[in-house]
Structure 1
């Protein structure tokens, strides 16, 4: 990773999350709903001659009402001898991980937020922060991708989503309780580099989209969550993957396509391992859907692929 100024990332992200919560809370809070059926799972089983890999599409922040999970997901967990996540769980809680985010979210070569944001975008951001008693100067050392992350976290929290309820964290806890081994498909360095390496122009585009219509951004978040709950692959592909591919193509390649390609050999290694131990892999839904998704890439390599979903018409 390139050398960067050190900064306290926790403060800006928490500040922005609190600001966003105050600004978006009225729209995001909805009346309590009656108990809903379990989410329709984004779950596939990929098999070779002797063992299998289950691929489960995650929503990284969920609500308590998103549980319990479908019986098929519980069965896949029970059948799996081990679990794999995007990053090995112990690395996520390492003190070094926050330091890496802190370093990555800063600037180099004398740049700052004011030098990369167009005046209209800076004005929108300043207005939003001012409404909560904050200022853009407190964000001056933070790159747009990290500000967008804080903004989305604020939106999600105001809508009742919590990272500890996310599907990844749910199964990290379950694996620990069951004594099942866990592993990661990549290191935190790889994940941070993917976000940090995206062009400033595309970072600014994404931030401006959030700032132009925060209420619409909240609605889109809720719509994505509903699409995930419904197991609607086509809707998720259109609203999440294709939009990202169209509007921020370099970010799409770095955050999705390149990482998918890097994960394939590791998944295939699990399939080619001797014995019949199966693996449950839990990753963000974006990585599984569409023509660039892991599911279709494995299907194209000749593996047996089936969607495990009793509520789906699709096989």
Structure 2
């Protein structure tokens, strides 16, 4: 993947797909609508399908002390059916783990209060509207885009910019064959339930949604502006992110997920990544420092593992042994498909609206 392409990739896709899985999981798939240009989108996508029967190279590390180990798996929260089965390395770590820990526990995700929390985080405070936060130019672009889907700006006017970004990206990703129900975390939650393995979470739904909802409005609007100014480039950028994750490409993912986000939206980066990593670090150390010998598999968005602020660096600095588990590294043929493209006059975006 070329550096020039990496530099073009924006923070919207990386931050939501690699960091905040709860937000993606809370928008129900049955609220997505088909793109007006689904045929064209699928034709472009046909060139971008991953090679058949080649498992993704895992972003999997083993962090050890004298007694036990914590496996850290870098998840992506949107995947396709063709991405499964996952690597045998992940299967082995899953089998070796006495329990599976996620960003948010399956029980918390499935609680009756989850939808209420999500709606509260997605809505703007009383007296504020999206129209009042964005420029006339962006209002016109958003209204035109929604009109193509049979909607209008009035229907989303009470929502925060981060949620509108999420909705636009999910509508697009759904038309490209991606689904949060196929994300690594959702897949392993189901496997843990079937295997009868105990599960837990590093944080609550409210913790995660707070990081999104409290990010600076100016940075939320910047993400919305990025999407509305160049919707035709988004399919290719989502494909770049997917391909880098499939290839287990750590430098590539750092370029996509970290560098531009730190520069363009530094407060959001601090809140959704750095602050949460630091909050999780004592929990991970507790899993290692106790007298128990049970190993644990921890599944988090890949962005949380990478870079100087990532969990791998933080744990290494704490004195633990950190080693990558990757049988395919350096041996697998991970040829990447072409990026999907769309005609300049097409905007394959559908907006899922949460009630």
Query: TM-score over 0.5 for the alignment?
Result: yes
Aligned position for 1:146: 163
Aligned position for 1:301: 318
Which of these residues, 255, 273, 283, is aligned with residue 256 of structure 1? 273
Aligned position for 1:221: 238
Q: How much does 1:24 deviate? A: 6.9
Aligned position for 2:40: 26
Q: How much does 1:215 deviate? A: 1.8
* In structure 2, C-alpha distance between the alignment counterparts of 1:35 and 1:88, rounded to whole Å: 32
Cα RMSD of the aligned pairs, angstroms, is 2.0
Matches within 5 A, 1:1-315: 17-18=32-33, 21-22=35-36, 26-27=40-41, 29-31=44-46, 34-313=51-330
Q: How much does 1:206 deviate? A: 0.3
* In structure 2, C-alpha distance between the alignment counterparts of 1:181 and 1:150, rounded to whole Å: 32
Task: Give the secondary-structure state (helix, strand or coil) at the position aligned to 1:185.
Answer: strand
Q: How much does 1:311 deviate? A: 2.0
Gaps of 5+ in 2: 1-25, 332-355
Q: How much does 1:13 deviate? A: 9.6
Structure 1 residue runs of 4+, over 6 Å off? Answer: 10-15
Number of equivalent positions: 303
Gaps of 5+ in 1: 1-9
* In structure 1, C-alpha distance between the alignment counterparts of 2:188 and 2:29, rounded to whole Å: 26
Q: Is the 8 A contact 2:64 2:320 kept in 1?
A: yes
Q: Is the 8 A contact 1:24 1:214 kept in 2?
A: no
The alpha-carbon distance between structure 1 residues 312 and 12, as it changes in their structure 2 partners (threshold 3 A), is closer
* In structure 2, C-alpha distance between the alignment counterparts of 1:313 and 1:12, rounded to whole Å: 38
Task: Give the secondary-structure state (helix, strand or coil) at the position aligned to 1:22.
Answer: coil
TM-score scaled by structure 2? Answer: 0.81
Q: How much does 1:120 deviate? A: 1.3
Q: Is the 8 A contact 2:50 2:82 kept in 1?
A: no
- Offset from partner CA, 1:23-71 (integer Å, 9 cap, x none): 5763355226651410000000000011000000001111111111111
